[in-house]
Amino acid sequence: MRKTSTRLADGRELVYYDLDDAVVRDAVDLRPLEPTVTASEIRRDPLLGDAVAVASHRQGRTYHPPADSCPLCPSRDGRPSEIPDSSYDVAVFENRFPSLAGDSGRCEVVCFTPDHDASFATLTPERARLVLDVWTDRTAELSRLPRVEQVFCFENRGAEIGVTLGHPHGQIYGYPFVTPRTARMLRSVAAHRGATGENLFDAVLAGELADERVVLEGEHWAAFVPRAAHWPYEVHLYPRRRVPDLTALDEAARAEFPRVYLDLLRRFDRIFGPDEPPTPYVSAWHQAPRGPLAEADGVTREDFALHLELFTIRRTSGKLKFLAGSESGMDVFVNDVPPERAAGRLREVAGS
């Protein structure tokens, strides 16, 4: 993998990742861009302890542009974009409209492919492996920033999810705090360690793999629908060897990941049948933070288990799962699809 770092016209960093070590990236961003002005602020909810990012500058972000004006496509035919070169394998750049910026963290955009009409599921295994290596490199890079406490790599796919750019892409957030979701996991891990002396992630994985909700298994990865799934179709993908983050995966797990992950994504697109539009989903990597909470109550970051959560808000053909009063107001989810049925359906559509 060849990595080339450059700057866009307004000073934001752009990084090309190429499979060909001989490629040269010297295109210059000639757009007349003013320096990016952000107004990101982190506020704390005194009752819940949650952090809320207030980012008013995002009101002006690009919203569903036509395909010939896509800012994530390569710059071609006199149409400049966020990526000055006429082609790329994977490109990462600082978000022009970040939720987190400056002392409040960092937000990056990851363009998986130059093909506007592709999806992650249509990538070749070689290209999917390159994206994994990019996620790993960005995790390492952002973790070195003094203001970043946790790195979150994710993909939102589909207008139903709220995606405003149709080009295949994901994002990476470098939070200046440990996220509430992760903090809750760590408290559960600490309580389980205190009660049993064992690791909770190890116990959960062993228990789930002994149940009927297993979706697929590889030598180094395993995927299942959790017993208490929040979403209609929700799969958790774990490496069999517990590691705290992407940087700690060994080569064997890295080599197997593309096959397993592409299989899962393609099954998601088959859940509702061939006449249904592509399945909207969120794909989220849970990684150990490096902040003080990771070592609270006798829990270290090595006690955390890297895993990927993949879910869709589509509950059946033509119908979405909306967060109503119980979910939005009280964080108590009501799932319309029994997890056992969801797992069975995901097994049915394997390779069909």
How far apart are alpha carbons 42 and 57 in whole angstroms? 14
Residue 88, CA distances (Å) to 75, 98, 119 in order = 10, 23, 15
How far apart are alpha carbons 151 and 178 in whole angstroms? 9
The two three-digit tokens of residue 54, written as one number: 């207030």
Residues 6+ apart with CB under 8 A from 113: 89, 90, 123, 127, 168
Count of beta carbons in the 10 Å neighbourhood of residue 266? 17
How many residues in the chain?
352
Cβ(188)–Cβ(208) below 8 Å:
no
Mean pLDDT of 202-225: 97
Of the pLDDT bands very low, low, confident and very high (cuts 50, 70, 90), residue 292 is low
Q: What is the pLDDT of residue 346?
A: 98
Count of beta carbons in the 10 Å neighbourhood of residue 101? 21
> What are the chain's domains?
2-175 (3.30.428.10), 181-348 (3.30.428.10)
Q: What is the pLDDT of residue 299?
A: 87
How far apart are alpha carbons 338 and 327 in whole angstroms? 17
Q: Which amino acid is at 13?
A: E
Mean pLDDT of 309-328: 95
How far apart are alpha carbons 33 and 332 in whole angstroms? 45
The two three-digit tokens of residue 181, written as one number: 């979701």
Of the pLDDT bands very low, low, confident and very high (cuts 50, 70, 90), residue 296 is low
Cβ(10)–Cβ(33) below 8 Å:
yes
Q: What is the pLDDT of residue 16?
A: 98
> CA angle 6-7-13, nearest 5°?
90
Q: What is the pLDDT of residue 293?
A: 61
294 pLDDT more than 90: no
- Look at 181 and 102; give whichever has higher pLDDT: 181
Of the pLDDT bands very low, low, confident and very high (cuts 50, 70, 90), residue 134 is very high
> Phi/psi at 111 (nearest 5 deg)?
-90, 115
What mean pLDDT value characterizes the chain? 94
Of the pLDDT bands very low, low, confident and very high (cuts 50, 70, 90), residue 133 is very high
Residues 32-84: pLDDT tens digits?
998 877 878 999 999 999 999 998 888 767 767 888 889 999 999 889 999 99
Q: What is the pLDDT of residue 62?
A: 77
User: Angle, nearest 10°, between helix axes 180-196 and 200-209?
Assistant: 90
Among 293, 331, 309, 50, CA closest to 189: 293
> Phi/psi at 71 (nearest 5 deg)?
-75, -5
Q: Whole-structure pTM over 0.85, yes or no?
A: yes
Catalytic residues: 169
Among 288, 28, 19, CA closest to 134: 19
The two three-digit tokens of residue 241, written as one number: 């060897």
> Phi/psi at 261 (nearest 5 deg)?
-70, -40
Q: What is the pLDDT of residue 261?
A: 98
